[in-house]
Structure 1
């Protein structure tokens, strides 16, 4: 074969290879990456096992998961305000209200987030900026085995946390997280106070602090129970049930004064790189299949009214009109306007020795 023919053939082969490479590269570019910032622990595990692969397959996308508490996530999107890198955030309702007030979140598009039409009113934001997708409550947790061995009755009131027999055996959430704010609010309501008059709450919390080994800032007090350091706490229903599901003898109590609702919310970040895809993900989270998973595996009561749960799951979560009507809804606009003041006071007067 002549030299010039060899050169032509080699050139043609290189051209074909180059075209193939550019087609592959172009295919890769078409696959978007959605960046999700959400809770860690069992949430992250179940999302990555079931929900995220399903969303990726249905939409030909890649989801990047950034783990963090609500406070961590709020700090991240604040820092990125001028150049957002995160598309969707999972936040507790308190930090979500803060994010909204800071102008960090985008309105939901009802033409894409069609499941908004199927939600309980309590889950909706009046401006459609973010939405609640799961309900839990903050109440009391106790080690049933320890209580039985000591002949103790289960706690029934928020005020029981001040019982001297619990001295050195209580762990409480810090006011830095939502459970801590709820505990302070309920200590006030249980003693004649209100969200406008928190003095009774601060006085009762000073009493409770005498029994407390620490005020935990992580929102996950499970290790204190597992290691035997604590036998009672104020904590979220889903967290308690998750630990119970692992075989640990922990029980959850809704106190006689009631339990505040804690809504897990999902929101689109304002000016995020993938707005339409982010809206699709919010709708996906509100879909019946996803809502059933959150209820069965993570003990979040469904926000979608169309969701049907089997009897066993339904008995463990906030489910249905009647149960949702009992929830104490926190006015986060009022709380967040006072939160800095309450936090400073709690740090000085309540959590100072811990």
Structure 2
């Protein structure tokens, strides 16, 4: 059974011509007769831990080397930065960041609000897969940069009979206080809908099965946190299982933790992250912000950046990191998506804040 609301082909039809491929290989493109004045730095909002380390190595350091412009990473959480960007744009003030590394759902909210710059003129877009294109939006108010799976990560020693086959396996009393979830439930809502006896067709209008399963999980006293927390908790031996992006499990494994991950029978959420530029930047700073994103779409930067994260990118021909070829957390072919749950960004934008609030209400009750 294919658990997807939308399916997109992996590769954009057709191949780039020789001249287009050459243009796409260039890290920057000139839109002025001369390069505009360089700012001393650009500010990129990012996630911490393994996430920012990989971005720095694959994109930011290369950008500084090529341009001489320093890159400062603002580690304000993605939901917290949102109003801090929206307000100055609405007031015709300069926003506090140049680039937002964001979830596609959050970025879609910003795009619909009209606060994002169009970046459809980036030359490296010519060599990206269909995954790069935001669905349901005109042009490129943001560009998706990779996909990821919210896997069930687990300690093999805690599951001596093999990988957990169902999310319901986490309800075993021995896992009380030993399971971790994101503090707003992101990544967990959709498999919870199935684990609670519902169907994906019930999203978003008939989600009582989801909330019933969340209540069952609440009785397990799960730890609630953000990306860096999961790696730390696994390393410290505080948890046995987590609904988390595979990157966090892989980071703990690289640091010596015996860890594995799986896609249970109910499926796992698949989603994308993106880069976008808020409106209101000075013209020269907008130019250099675009060059940063263009570099992030180059084959070289995608390979380095996403090697660190262990995630499939949006440029064809990337080499999977060691051990991830064919892994369920690294989908690249249509059949790889058959047990992954994909809900349209439009549905998520309309309902995600309510889902987050409902999850927190249950967990705090």
TM-score by length of 1: 0.80
Greater gyration radius: 1
The residue aligned with 1:212 is 221
Find out whether 1:328 has 2:337 as its counterpart. no
Question: More displaced, 69-78 or 270-279?
Answer: 69-78
Q: After superposition, where does 1:251-330 map in structure 2 within 5 Å?
A: 251-273=260-282, 274-309=285-320, 312-315=323-326, 318-322=330-334, 325-326=337-338, 327-330=340-343
Number of paired residues?
Answer: 315
Find out whether 1:94 has 2:105 as its counterpart. yes
- Aligned pair in 2 of structure 1 residues 41, 58: CA closer, same or farther (>3 Å)? same
Q: After superposition, where does 1:83-232 map in structure 2 within 5 Å?
A: 83=93, 84-110=95-121, 113-125=122-134, 126-127=137-138, 128-148=140-160, 152-175=161-184, 180-190=185-195, 191-193=197-199, 194-196=202-204, 197-217=206-226, 220-232=229-241
Deviation at 1:308, TM superposition (A): 3.9
Give unpaired runs (5+ residues) of structure 2.
1-35
Deviation at 1:324, TM superposition (A): 5.7
Write the distance in 1 (CA, Å) between the matches of 2:309 and 2:321: 15
Indicate conservation of the 8 Å contact 1:88/1:269, yes or no: yes
46, 56, 60: which is aligned to 1:48?
56
Indicate conservation of the 8 Å contact 2:84/2:96, yes or no: no
Which of 1 and 2 has higher RCO (CA within 8 Å, sep 6+)?
2
Write the distance in 2 (CA, Å) between the matches of 1:141 and 1:217: 15
Indicate conservation of the 8 Å contact 1:91/1:266, yes or no: yes
341, 344, 348: which is aligned to 2:357?
344
Deviation at 1:315, TM superposition (A): 4.5
The residue aligned with 1:26 is none
TM-score by length of 2: 0.78
Report the aligned-residue RMSD: 2.4
18, 32, 38: which is aligned to 1:31?
38
* Secondary structure in structure 1 of the residue aligned to 2:229: coil
- Aligned pair in 2 of structure 1 residues 76, 220: CA closer, same or farther (>3 Å)? farther
Write the distance in 1 (CA, Å) between the matches of 2:241 and 2:181: 9
Find out whether 1:250 has 2:252 as its counterpart. no
Find out whether 1:74 has 2:82 as its counterpart. yes
Indicate conservation of the 8 Å contact 2:155/2:258, yes or no: yes
Q: Deviations over 1:111-154 (max 9, x none)?
A: xx122222222331132111111111002011123334xxx442
Deviation at 1:207, TM superposition (A): 0.7
The residue aligned with 2:15 is none
Give unpaired runs (5+ residues) of structure 1.
1-28
* Secondary structure in structure 2 of the residue aligned to 1:318: coil
Name whichever structure is richer in helix by fraction. 1
Deviation at 1:54, TM superposition (A): 1.8
Indicate conservation of the 8 Å contact 1:105/1:129, yes or no: yes
Write the distance in 2 (CA, Å) between the matches of 1:294 and 1:323: 25
